[in-house]
Amino acid sequence: MKIQRFGQLATITLAGSLALSACGSDNNTSGSGGSTGSGSATAATECAEGTLNSEGSSAQKNAIEEAIASFQEACEGATVNYNPTGSGAGIKQFLAGQVDFAGSDSALKKEEKDGKVETAEAEKYCGSPAWNLPMVTGPVAVSYNLPGVDKLVLTPDVIANIFNGKVTTWNDASIAKINSGAKLPSTPIKVFFRSDESGTTENFTKYLAAAAPSAWTAEPGKSWTGKGEGKEKSSGVAGAVQSTEGGITYAEWSYAKDNKLGIAQIDNGGGPVELTGETVGKAIATAESDGEGNDLRLKLDYATKEPGAYPINLVTYEIVCSKSKDPAKAQLTKAFLKHFSSEETQAALEEIGYAPLPDEVRTKVATAIDALS
């Protein structure tokens, strides 16, 4: 019957295609293993076996995924999982013992919040102090969409007024004053902000509160307190700016680059600073250390007037017990964190929109990792 013959033909085709797909060889690991071999020949990655689970900030998602990929390639038998559910969720899971370390946009809080002090809770859980290790610096780019305007300089006061809704068109006097020579159109400014609770919002509002305290009076926090339209996640705001002429937003550098948005140069008082890996590193290097010993919480100076330092930065920390509750995992945690903070891995992060840790901070982090047990 016709149906039977068609069925036979279909079965043969299906079986044949399945068999042919098995012909492809899985040479991927050996091929790329050769290329990283040359890079890691300078500093062999220490390896350990096992599985690590971690959770936390979505701002460092791309960075940690890159580090995990290179670590797993170098170390057979090691698996690291990272779930980017948000800093709050990451810390919660860490304190509940569900993950081995947490990634967070802000260090564990020392102040009481809703009856709990995060540092005390962590110490209780770990049986030893919990350390905040800065690992990833993600600059926040003030990104805009203005065809024809390639270079835009903004000062903290102007930024605050734009995001407050006080400055409404691009050819406003306050913007034109600091951009003499640029032809600014009369397009209305459309502000986009993060509608979900976000560490990027927190760092951006901290910058505004520190650098333009008279113009930005709202309390910094994870929820947006200015004006504009809210979109979900960095991809949402960046996409919205890309499709709206006259749009402006604050988003991680990688999103601004991917969507080909213009990135404003920030003038904190020391001249316009372009967003590059070095300028970010310079700003992080000026940060004060806010913790004791190996607890390396950084107090970023958002109002820094240092020339050539890009001020709007977000540092994500890996929060880990100084004395691990599981000695078998301790080796793997140390090995992974060491790999993550190594010079090669950090340098590789620049392509995906993060800035490498400056040397001063990196050496301190390395010392702290060595002291983990």
Partner 1 sequence: MSSITGVSVADETPSGGRAPLSGDRAGTGRLGDRLFGGAATGAGVTVIALVTLIGLFLLWQAIPALAKNEASFLTSREWVVAGDNPRFGILELLWTTVLSSVIAMAIAVPVGVCVALFITQYAPRWLSRPAANLVDLLAAVPSIIYGLWGLNTFLPVEKPLEAFIQQWLGWFPPFSSTTISGGTIFFIGIVLAIMVLPIVTALSREVFDQTPVTHKEGALALGATKWEMIRTAVLPFGRPGVISAAMLALGRALGETIAVTFIVSTLARGTDWTWSVFNGGETFASRIANNAAEFDTPQKAGAFIAAGLVLFILTFIVNAIARIVIERRKAFSE
**Residue 183 C-beta: closest distance to partner 1, Å:** 23
Residue window 189-218: x/- pattern of binding to partner 1, with contact defined by CB under 8 A: -x-xx-xxx---------------------
Q: What token pair was written down for 180?
A: 């003499």
Q: For residue 135, give the nearest of 302, 370, 369 by alpha carbon.
A: 369
The yes or no reply on residue 225 touching partner 1 (CB under 8 A) is yes
**Residue 232 C-beta: closest distance to partner 1, Å:** 5
Q: Are 140 and 200 in contact (CB under 8 A)?
A: yes
How many Å apart are CA 287 and CA 328, to the nearest integer? 34
The correct pick among 85, 187, 286, 331 for binding partner 1 (CB under 8 A) is 85
- Choose the binding region for partner 1 from 99-107, 230-238, 262-270, 350-358 (rule: CB under 8 A): 230-238
**Residue 165 C-beta: closest distance to partner 1, Å:** 8
How many Å apart are CA 59 and CA 365, to the nearest integer? 20
The yes or no reply on residue 185 touching partner 1 (CB under 8 A) is no
Q: What token pair was written down for 272?
A: 């316009």
Phi-psi region of 143 (alpha: psi -120 to 50; beta: other; left: phi over 0): beta
- Choose the binding region for partner 1 from 12-20, 229-237, 274-282, 365-373 (rule: CB under 8 A): 229-237
**Residue 260 C-beta: closest distance to partner 1, Å:** 15
**Residue 181 C-beta: closest distance to partner 1, Å:** 29
Q: For residue 341, give the nearest of 195, 134, 191 by alpha carbon.
A: 134
The correct pick among 207, 224, 250, 354 for binding partner 1 (CB under 8 A) is 224
Q: Are 132 and 106 in contact (CB under 8 A)?
A: no
How many Å apart are CA 253 and CA 340, to the nearest integer? 20
Q: Are 138 and 300 in contact (CB under 8 A)?
A: no
How many Å apart are CA 156 and CA 315, to the nearest integer? 20
The correct pick among 110, 177, 183, 227 for binding partner 1 (CB under 8 A) is 227
Size of the site for partner 1 (CB under 8 A): 29
**Residue 199 C-beta: closest distance to partner 1, Å:** 10
The correct pick among 46, 172, 229, 360 for binding partner 1 (CB under 8 A) is 229
Q: Are 142 and 275 in contact (CB under 8 A)?
A: no
Residues lying near partner 1 in the complex (CB under 8 A) are found at 85-86, 88-89, 92, 114, 165, 190, 192-193, 195-197, 222-232, 236, 239-240, 243-244
